[in-house]
Structure 1
Amino acid sequence: MSAPYIQPPVVPEPLHAIPAPAPLPDDPELRWLATVYRRGERQLTVRAVVTGMLLGGVMCLSNLYVVLKTGWSLGVTLTACILAFAIFRGMKATGLAKKDFTVLENNAMGSVASAAGFMTGGGNMAALPALLMLTAVRPSGFSLFIWFAVIAALGVFAAIPVKRQLINREQLPFPTGTATAETLRSLHEASHSKEGAGGEKAKFLGIAAAVGAALTWFRDAKGAFMPFNIPASIPLPFQIAGRAAKDWTLTLKCELVPFAAGALMSFRTGWSLLLGGILTYVFLAPSLLANGQIPEVSYKAIVGWTLWPGAAVLVASGLTGFAFDWKSIARSFSGLSALFRKKKESVDDPMAEVECPDAWFPLGFAVLGPIVVVLMWWLFAIPVWAGVIAVPLAVVMGFVAARVTGETDVTPTKALGPVTQLVYGVATPGNLAGNLMSANVTGGIGLHAADLLTDLKSGFLLGANPRQQFYAQLFGVLAGAAVVVPAFSLLVPDASALGGEDWPAPSAVVWAGVSQAFSDGLGALPPSARNAAIAGALLGIALALAERLAPKRLRAWIPSPSGLGIALVMPGSNAIAMFLGSAVAELTRRLNPKLAERTIVPVSSGFIAGESLMGIAVALLVVLGILAG
C-alpha cells in the first residue's frame, strides 16, 4: 500500500520576486496622461456641439439683456451644463437618446456654450453701445459678425502657447474651472440615483425660469387682450430735496434680473452697490441740482456727470489691482520668449496626440490678424499702422489676462481696456471710434483666451482631450457672434434707447466716458467733473490698496470699488435690487449652507433666463406690431 499523498507546503515567493507597481512619472504631464486622461471616451460629439450652440445662444441672449440692464456679464457654463444634463437625462428616460450623455460630452458642450454666452463680454457690449452713443456709427450686421467672431477666435488661438505651461505644468487653480469640474463630476456620479443633484437643480432652474417669464409677460406685454399688467415699479414713500424718490431713480422695480444678479455676486459687492446708490442719488445728485451742475432731475442728466467719478473709480482700482499682480505679469512676459525661439522638443512627445500643435498659434495669428487690421481701418477709420500695433499688443495682453485669471479668477478687462484706450488716445487723438474699438480688440482677445483656459482647466481635471475643447470653443464663437448682433439691433434700434432707465447700459456709459477723457483730454471737462474724476481715481486707488493690505478680517467691511464705481452710473433702483438679492443669498448661506448650495445658482440663473428671454420675446412682438410699445 502506497503512502498517502501529502500536499507540500506552499512556500511564498520572496518579496523581491513580486513585481512592484510601476512608479508614477515625475513629469506632471506624463502623470496626467497615465492616470487622468480618458482615452477614447466620447467628448466632442455632434449632439454636444449642437446642444452647446443652442444653449450658448440662449445664454448669450440672456447675458445681452443682463449687461444692458446691469453692466455685468454673467458666467453661463454651469447653467448650460445643468440644463444639458437634465435634457439628456430626460431623453434617455423616454428613449429619445440611446446612450448616456457622458461627463466629457457635457464638458465639451460647456466649452461651446461658454464661448457663445460670453460674446457679450470682453468689451463687446460696452464698446459697441458706447460707439453708438458717441458717434451714432453702427456697422452692418455682417461686418459686426465678422468683427466679434474674429476677435474671439484670436483669443482662442492666443490660449494655445500658454496652455501647457499654466495648466499642465504649473497647474494654476483657475477657480471657476475647478468648480465647474467638481460640479460636473458630482452631477454625473449621481446620475443613477433616483433624483440626484443635477435633476433637482434643473427643476429649481426650470421653475424659476417660468416665474421670471410669467412676471415679465404680465409686466411688459401691453395689449387689449391682457387682463391686467403688473406695475413696472413700486414707489418708495419718501421725498428727497422736495422731489419724490422715484424722480431720483429710487424705486422698487418689479424685475428679477438685477435681484438675481445680486444673488450671484458677493454680499460685499451688493452692499457696496447700495452704498454707492445712496451716495449718488440721496446726497450727490440733489447737491448737483442745487449748484446748477445738472439741468434737471433725470437719470440721463445725473449720470452724465457721475460717470466721470464712476469711471475713474473703476479704472484706477482696476489698474492698481493689476499692478499688484506684477508677479503674474512678469511671469507672463518672461514666458513670451519661448514663443520666439525654436523649442527643441522630442518628436516622441506623448502629449502631441492630445494638445493643440504650437504651430496653430502663429498660423491663426497670420490668418486672423490681417482681418482685424483691415476691419479696424475699414469700419472705424483706425490707421493701418495703429491696427498693426493693436493686434500683437492685444495678444500679449491676452497672455497676461490668462495668467491673472488662472491665479485670481478675475479677468482684468477693466484694466486692459483703459490701457489700450490710453495708448490710442495718445496715438490717434480725437478718434473716438478707434479709441473704443481698439480697446474692444484687447478686451475680447483677453477674455476669450482666459475663458478657453478656464474651460481647459475643467477638462484637465476630468481627463478631457484639450484639442477637442479647442474645436468646441470655435463652434461657440460662431454661435455667439451669430446671435448677439441681430439681438442687439432688435433691443437697441438707435442710440436714444441707451442710457435711460430701461437700458441704462452702465458699462457702455463708462467706456464712453473713458474714451472721451482719453481722446479729448481731461482738460476738456468742466472743472467740477474734472475734480470729481480725480477724486474718484484717488478713491479707487485707496480702495484697491485697502483690499490688498488690510487684515483679512477687515476686508469684508471695505467697500468694493467695482460695486461703488458701477453704482455711480446705474439707476438707484438697480442698486437696491442687487443689494436685496445679495442679502437674501448671504442670509441663506449663513442659515442653511446646504440649501444655499442647492438653490442659489439654479434659481438665480432661472430668474435671469426666464425674464431676459421673455423680455426679448416681448420686444420682438412689439417690433412685429403684435403688442403695443
Structure 2
Amino acid sequence: MLEIVAPQSKESPSDTEKTAITLRDYEEKLDSPSSFQFINTDDPFPESPDDHIEDQQLTVRAVLVGCILGGVISASNIYIGLKTGLAISSSLFGAILGFAILKPLSRSAPTFLGGGYFGPKENNICQSAATSAGSIGLIFVSGFPAAYQLGLLSAQPKDDIGRLFTFTICCAFFGLSFTQPLRKFYILKLKLVFPLGVAAAQTIQSLHVGKGAEAIAGRKTRALIYAFIGATLLRIISEYAPGLLWDWHIFYAMNRIGLTSAIAAESWGWIWEWTPAFVGVGMVTGANASYSILGGSFLAWAIIGPVIVAQGLAVGVVADPAIPGYMSYMSMNLADPIHHPSPRYWMLWPGTLILVCASLAEVGCNWKSFYLGMRSALGPLLQWFSQTTVEDDNVVDPVPEHERVPLWAWSSLLVISVIVTCIVMNVQFGQNVGVTLLAIIFAFLFSLMGCESEGRTSMNIVTSAGNASQLIFGGLASGQNYPIKRGQLLNLLTGMLTLGKYNESFKA
C-alpha cells in the first residue's frame, strides 16, 4: 500500500495519523495532482485489491526487452562518451519503451510467447535491466580505448573479444551484491530521494494508474519515436549538406568575406555542430553542469590555448596552406610530446589534475557517508557470523519478508564474483590477486560516495572515481618497479575495474 498524505490543515496530523488510501482513491488524486502534498519515495507501488497480483515480477520478457533497450542506450553512451566523456541514463527510456512493447504483447500474445498480465512492478524490472545494461558500456569510453592507443593489448579489439566479455561480466555481477546492504542505509534510513529513480517510478505509475494512462503512455512513446526518426533523418540528410545541416563554420565564412582575423577562431575549433546526440545531452544535463562545461571549454580553447602558443609552449600544425593563418591545435601526435606538444596534449595535464583533485575532495567531504555506509553494509554479515542481534536503529522495511533478497543470496553472489574476478584478472591479464582485491575494496568505497551523490543530486561521479583510483594504482605500480607498459596496463585495468564495479553497484 502506498501511503499518500492529504493536504495538511491548520491542525496538521502527526506521522501516525497519516491516511493510507486505496489505489482507487490514488487514481482520483493522480488525475488531480494539486490535491495531495507528497509521496513517500521509499514506499512500494500501490496495489489494487481488484487487480491482478504480480506474483512473477522477474520475467523473461521483461529482462529480455530491458536488455535490448539497454543495449541501444549503451551504444549511444559509448558514442557520446568517446565524444564528450558524458553519459545519459536509460531509466525513463526503458520504462516508457518497455511499456510500449510489453503492454500490447501481454494482451495479444499467448502465454508461452510472452502474453499475460503486465503490471508496474514488471515494468520496473524492464527499466532496471535497461538501466544496468545501458551503463556497463562506460568502461569502453576511457580505459580500453586508451589501452589500444598505447598498444597495451592486441592490435584490434576483436582479437580480445573473450577478455572483453569476461571483464564486463566481472564488473556487472559484483555491483548487484552491493545493492542489498546499501539499500537499508541509503533508502530506508537516510531516505535519499534518488531523483532519477523517483522520476522513473512516477513515470511507471502514470503509465499504469489513473484515467487515460494508456493514452498518456502512447503520447510519450510517440514522442520518443518522433525524436528517433528526426535525429536519424537529420544525420542522413546532413551527409548531403554538411555545411548547412551539420557543421556551421561561422568564423571560416567570416574569413572568406574579408574578415581574415576570424580564421584564428576557426583554428581553435569554434564551430557550431548540430549533432543530435549532443543536443539530447544538453537537454537532459543540468544548467550548472552545462555552464561548467562551457566555461572549461572557453578557458582552455579561448584563453589558455592561445597564450601557450604565443609563448612557444605548444605548437600547432598547418590545416590548409592555401588559407593564411589556418592552423589545427587538436592533434594528439605523441611523436615528440616533450619538446613539441600540441595545445591539446599540453592542457591534458592541468585538466587531469583538476579532475583528480576534485575526486579526492569529493572523497574527503564524504568520509562520514563512507563510515556509516560500511557500518550498515557489514552489519548483516557481522550479525550472521556472531549470531547476535544488531540494533537496526528502528528502521522499518515496508517490503514483505518473502519479497526481500535473503542474506545468503547476495553474500554468496559477492563471494563468487570476487573469486571469478580474481581468476579472470590473473589468468587473462596477469594481474596480481592482491591488486585485484584492492581494486574491489576501492569499488566498494566509491560506491558509497556514488550512492550519496546519486541519491541526493542524480550526478554521476563515475569519472571522478576512475581518476582517483588510477592515481592510487599508478603510485602502487611505480613502487613495484614494473616496466612502463606493464605499469600502464595495470593502471588502466584496475581503474576500469573499480569504475565498472562501482558504476554497476549504484545503478542497480
TM-score of the two chains, using structure 2 as the length reference = 0.73
Q: CA deviation at 1:40?
A: 3.9
Matching residue of 2:34:
none
The range that moved more, 304-313 or 79-88, is 79-88
Distance (whole Å) between structure 2 residues aligned to residue 41 and residue 375 of structure 1:
37
Q: In structure 1, which of residues 164, 179, 199 is the aligned counterpart of residue 199 of structure 2? A: 179
CA gap of 1:42–1:341, structure 2 versus 1, over 3 A, is closer
CA gap of 1:169–1:268, structure 2 versus 1, over 3 A, is closer
Matching residue of 1:204:
223
Counterpart residue type for residue 125 of structure 1: V
**Does the residue aligned with 2:248 lie in a helix, a strand or coil?**
strand
Matching residue of 1:439:
495
Deviations 1:10-50 (A, max 9, x none): xxxxxxxxxxx9x99xxxxxx96898799644422222122
Q: In structure 1, which of residues 371, 381, 399 is the aligned counterpart of residue 420 of structure 2? A: 371
Deviations 1:147-178 (A, max 9, x none): 01111210111222222333234433222211
Q: CA deviation at 1:193?
A: 5.3
Distance (whole Å) between structure 1 residues aligned to residue 296 and residue 185 of structure 2:
41
1:129 matched to 2:145? The reply is yes
Structure 1 gaps, min length 5: 1-20, 25-30, 221-227, 453-629
Identity of aligned residues (%): 23
1:77 matched to 2:91? The reply is yes
Instruction: Tell me the number of residue pairs that the alignment of Structure 1 and Structure 2 aligns.
Output: 415
**Does the residue aligned with 2:498 lie in a helix, a strand or coil?**
helix
Q: CA deviation at 1:373?
A: 2.1
Whether contact under 8 Å (1:322, 1:415) holds in the other structure is: no
Whether contact under 8 Å (1:315, 1:415) holds in the other structure is: yes
TM-score of the two chains, using structure 1 as the length reference = 0.60
CA gap of 1:170–1:274, structure 2 versus 1, over 3 A, is closer
CA gap of 1:276–1:170, structure 2 versus 1, over 3 A, is closer
Matching residue of 1:262:
282
Distance (whole Å) between structure 2 residues aligned to residue 93 and residue 352 of structure 1:
31
CA gap of 1:168–1:323, structure 2 versus 1, over 3 A, is same
Q: CA deviation at 1:216?
A: 1.4
Matching residue of 1:306:
347
Q: CA deviation at 1:125?
A: 2.2
Counterpart residue type for residue 298 of structure 1: Y
Whether contact under 8 Å (2:330, 2:343) holds in the other structure is: yes
**Does the residue aligned with 2:142 lie in a helix, a strand or coil?**
helix
**Does the residue aligned with 2:312 lie in a helix, a strand or coil?**
coil
Q: In structure 2, which of residues 213, 231, 242 is the aligned counterpart of residue 230 of structure 1? A: 242
> Which structure's relative contact order is higher, taking Cα pairs within 8 Å and 6+ residues apart?
1
Distance (whole Å) between structure 1 residues aligned to residue 491 and residue 75 of structure 2:
27
Whether contact under 8 Å (1:60, 1:117) holds in the other structure is: yes
Structure 2 gaps, min length 5: 1-16, 21-41, 317-327, 332-341, 390-396, 479-483
The range that moved more, 312-321 or 149-158, is 312-321
Matching residue of 2:267:
247
Whether contact under 8 Å (1:315, 1:414) holds in the other structure is: no
CA gap of 1:339–1:426, structure 2 versus 1, over 3 A, is farther
Matching residue of 1:142:
162
**Does the residue aligned with 1:289 lie in a helix, a strand or coil?**
helix
1:110 matched to 2:127? The reply is yes
1:120 matched to 2:143? The reply is no
Deviations 1:69-102 (A, max 9, x none): 2211110110121112223455578779864532
Whether contact under 8 Å (1:236, 1:251) holds in the other structure is: yes
CA gap of 1:213–1:92, structure 2 versus 1, over 3 A, is same
Deviations 1:607-627 (A, max 9, x none): xxxxxxxxxxxxxxxxxxxxx
Distance (whole Å) between structure 2 residues aligned to residue 368 and residue 265 of structure 1:
34
The range that moved more, 276-285 or 392-401, is 392-401
Whether contact under 8 Å (2:152, 2:489) holds in the other structure is: no
Q: CA deviation at 1:181?
A: 0.8
**Does the residue aligned with 1:135 lie in a helix, a strand or coil?**
coil
Matching residue of 2:306:
286
Distance (whole Å) between structure 1 residues aligned to residue 99 and residue 44 of structure 2:
27
Distance (whole Å) between structure 1 residues aligned to residue 44 and residue 198 of structure 2:
18
Distance (whole Å) between structure 2 residues aligned to residue 47 and residue 153 of structure 1:
20
